[in-house]
Structures are given as C-alpha cells and as structure tokens.
Amino acid sequence: MAEDLSHRLADFAASFSLEHAPVRVLENAKIAILDCLGVAVLAASEEIGKILLSFARLNGSPGPCTVWGSEITSNSRDAALINGTLAHGLDYDDRNHASTYTLASTLAAAETCNASGASTLAAFIVGREIRTCLDGLFSKRSSGIGPGARGWHSNGILGPIASACAAGKIFNFRRDQTLCAIGLAAGSCGALTRDGGTMAKPFRVGHAAATGIICALLAREGFSADETPLEGRYGLLEALGPLPPDVLDSLGGSLGIEYDLERVGIRVKPFASCTATHAALDAMLRLVQKRTISALEVETIECDLRPYPLVRMSPKRGFEGRFSMPFCLAMALIYGRLNPEDFTDERVEEPLTQEVMRRTRHVPGSKSLIVILKDGIKISEPIQPARDLTGWDEVAHKFNQCVSKTTPDRQRLALLNLVARLEEIPSVRSLTELLHVQMH
C-alpha cells in the first residue's frame, strides 16, 4: 500500500516530457494557466491584493520575478508567495485549486533561469499531475475518513510537494534531487478547513508555492532529506492517518499512465465563491430567471446550507461571503447575479441582505432549493450538479472579464496569444512581462 510512492513521484517528475503527454493534456494545461493568471490579476486589484502588494513593497527582496497584476518584481520565494496567494485570493480559480501553487512556483522558478515556454508547460503539468494523483487522501472527507474530515485542507498538505516537483522540473532535477525536494516539502505542510472565508485560506496556497521553491532551491544546493518521506514509518501518510487500504492504493497508481488533465480536465468556476455554494446558487439564479421575485416577498428560503465546508453561516465581512451559502443566495435573489466584486463589506451590511440571510434555513440533505413567499406560495427548484466553464473560448471570456479593467487591450490580447502557444515561445519572460500592471 503506497509502497515506493515518493520514488514514483520523483521518477515521473524527472522523466516527464511534453512528448509523453496526449495533446489534450497540453490544451487543458494552457486553459488552466490562462484561468489562473486571470483570477490572480483580478485579485491584485481587490482588497486582498492591495494588502499583498503593500506587503511586497515593504518586505519583499529584489529579484527578477514578476508579481502578477502589479509593477513589482521580486525574488522567486517572495513572488511565489504573493502570486500563489493572489491566484486563490478570490476563490475563483479552478475547483481543486491545483493550478494555483503549481503555476506560482513554476513561473517563479522559470523566470530565475529564463526557461522556455515548453519547459514551463512541462513543469506545470508535472506539479499539477503530482497533486491530483494524491487527491485520494482527501476523497472521503464527507464520509468522515481521512485528514480532510479532521480539519486538514488539501492545499497546504499537497501543495508544497507539487510545487517542489514543479520547480525541480524547471531546474532539470535528477531523480535523487527531486526526491530530496519531496522529502523537504512533505514535512513543511499544513492548512485548516477552518480558514475558509478568511484571507488565511489563500495564504496557505501562497505558502505552499513559496515552500516548494525553497525546498527545490535547497535540494539544488545539496541539502538532504529522507528518501521515503510519504510512505515510510512516521512519514506523512502515517501522520495523516489512519487511512483505509483503498485510499492508500489509489495514491499515484496511474501517474504518468493516465493524466488527470485528460481524464478529468479543468473544472473552471463561473463564480468567485467556494465550490460548495455553486449548485444551490445556480438553482436560485434559474428560479429568479423563471419568475420575478422581490426579496421583500420572501418569507423563508430552505436549502442544504452545506455547513461543512461552508463555515461562515453569518458573515460579518464581504470576504467571508465566499464561504456563506446564505450570503450567496441573498445576492442571487436580490440582484439576479453574483459577481466577484459583490463580496464587499457594504453588500454584507445592506439591511435587505441581512434580512434575506436571516430568513434562510438549513435543510440537511435537501435536493431542492425552496423559496416560500409571505402569501404561502412555495417555489421549488431542483439542485443540479454545479456547472463549469469549458473550453478555451469560455475561459478566455472569463479571463478578459478579469483583466480588462487593469490591462490594456493590446497587452491582454498578447497574453492570450502567448498562453495559447506557450510551448513555442523561447523565453517565458515574454509572457511574464505582460503580467505587469501599472498601479495608479
């Protein structure tokens, strides 16, 4: 069970090349990169971004790496920290969040050595596939099994390992160097589900990216680490356990044989809130499109409010609204939409928003959203699987919406073009220089 898992990850990272991967893997990787860059640039102009950029200006160290959505350059560690945090800053990145720290660590490493677009794409695929091959650790959290059920969040547990492998790929690591980076990263992890709805949650992503860079740089210098850090006695799997045999057997078994980027693809979010809000949010939007309803008419809203993982039932701040089903439903009912800019303190404090949230009731396991009006009429809408944005065109439209306010059209179109043909560009810096935004 999970025998030689650390070595399997290292073997895959060291041996992978773009020629090994189906065309669909490359296509989906570029879609993931485009989406991640777009939401990060948007986050740079929001509350969390302003705090991060102020922090970077006051505390960052000089270097060649771009801080996305800003005029700042920094060293690889600090750039990975800020960019990873920005990428998850609005909870608008793809649903398993694997692109965030993987891209932040990949681009930071790539800029330090002026890597090609092809090398950058290969490293991103390596990091993302390594992360997703370990997802089984968190697959049974809703059944009370595994570290996710005990409060650990996958971003901070798996992110440092994926980031270290991605950075190591940029540095052309041998198998033994990659294994050392994994060993360093495996004991450098941590994140809590309780962080949801606070800026601590995206910070764990940035920390994972920065940790991966640090581990790779230390491994490159000849640092040492255990060679069985995941599966060995007192290793990460035992520390996260107990884990049932089927979970252990699922880890890394098809790595390099099947690709998550081909089999599952990219699940791109249409809303800047926790995935757990999306199915009910979609139901509310369908309901108000079918029938005009004034929020003042509503007596009660009944829904499964998903208290796990949505830990902010009564948000006090806009940022908390991303992890609050009552807030998301209130926005959809009152305004007929939910945009990234709606998660503000002012929206939360609106009297009508507060009233609608108070009238929202938790019905565990409910398969429908039910709106009960004050005249007794009940309106029901079935809860369907959350929809995703699919294909290059839909994700490019989202990207354009994210960056259009801060990025001139010529720069935006050039970014789209370079991501689309990433494997062809000689230097990744031709892409990253377009991520600079002049702040006003």
> What is the predicted pLDDT for the residue at 2?
79
Q: How confident is the model at residue 130 (pLDDT cuts 50, 70, 90)?
A: very high
At 3 the pLDDT is 85
pLDDT at 20: 87
pTM: 0.96
29/305 Cα distance (integer angstroms):
33
pLDDT value, residue 144: 87
CA angle at 17 for the pair 16 and 21, rounded to the nearest 5°: 90
One-letter amino acid for residue 119 of the chain: S
What residue type is assigned to position 195 of the chain?
D
Contact 92, 338 (CB under 8 A): no
Condensed to tens digits (0 to 9), the pLDDT of residues 384-401 reads 999 999 999 999 999 999
The DSSP 8-state label assigned to residue 389 in this structure reads B
Classified as helix, coil or strand, 102 is: helix
Are 12 and 126 in contact by the 8 Å Cβ rule? The answer is yes
Domains in the chain (CATH in brackets) are: 5-269+391-435 (1.10.4100.10), 276-382 (3.30.1330.120)
Mean pLDDT in residue range 234-249:
93
Is the Cβ–Cβ distance between 125 and 29 less than 8 Å? yes
Peptide linkage before 22 cis (omega within 30 of 0):
no
Query: Residue 269: which region, alpha, beta or left (left: phi > 0; alpha: psi -120 to 50)?
Result: beta
The pLDDT confidence band at residue 202, using thresholds 50, 70 and 90, is: very high
Q: Report DSSP state, residue 323.
A: G
Please check the confidence at residue 18 and state whether its pLDDT lies above 60. Answer: yes
* Tokens 């960019």 sit on residue: 83
Residue 319, pLDDT > 60, answer yes
β-sheet bridge partners, residue 152:
192
pLDDT at residue 370 is higher than 90: yes
Average pLDDT, the chain: 96
Q: How far is C-alpha 392 from the geometric centre of its chain's CA atoms?
A: 18
pLDDT of residue 439: 65
Gap between the Cα atoms of 115 and 269, Å rounded? 30
Helix axes 154-170, 175-186, angle to 10 degrees: 160
Beta-bridged to residue 268, according to DSSP, are 389
CB 72 within 8 A of CB 53: yes
Half-sphere exposure of 311 (CA within 13 A, CB side): 10
Out of 129-133, 283-287, 307-311, 328-332, least confident range:
307-311
Query: Considering only 28-32, 72-76, 148-152, 327-331, which range has the smallest mean pLDDT?
Result: 148-152
Of the given ranges (170-184, 287-301, 320-334, 426-440), which has the lowest mean pLDDT? 426-440
Task: Kindly report each contact of residues 228-236 with a partner whose C-beta sits within 8 Å and lies 24 or more positions away, as own/partner.
Answer: 228/6, 228/7, 229/6, 229/182, 229/183, 229/186, 229/187, 230/2, 230/5, 230/6, 230/9, 230/182, 230/186, 231/2, 231/3, 231/4, 231/5, 231/6, 232/6, 235/186, 236/157, 236/186, 236/187, 236/189
Q: How far apart are CA 235 and CA 137, in angstroms?
A: 14
Share of the chain above pLDDT 70, in %: 99
Range in 161-165, 306-310, 328-332 with the lowest mean pLDDT? 306-310
Q: Does the pLDDT of residue 314 top 90, yes or no?
A: yes
pLDDT at 1 over 60: no
E strand intervals along 53-117: 65-66, 73-74
- Omega of the bond prior to 382 within 30 degrees of 0, cis? no
Q: Residue 438: pLDDT band by 50, 70, 90 thresholds?
A: confident
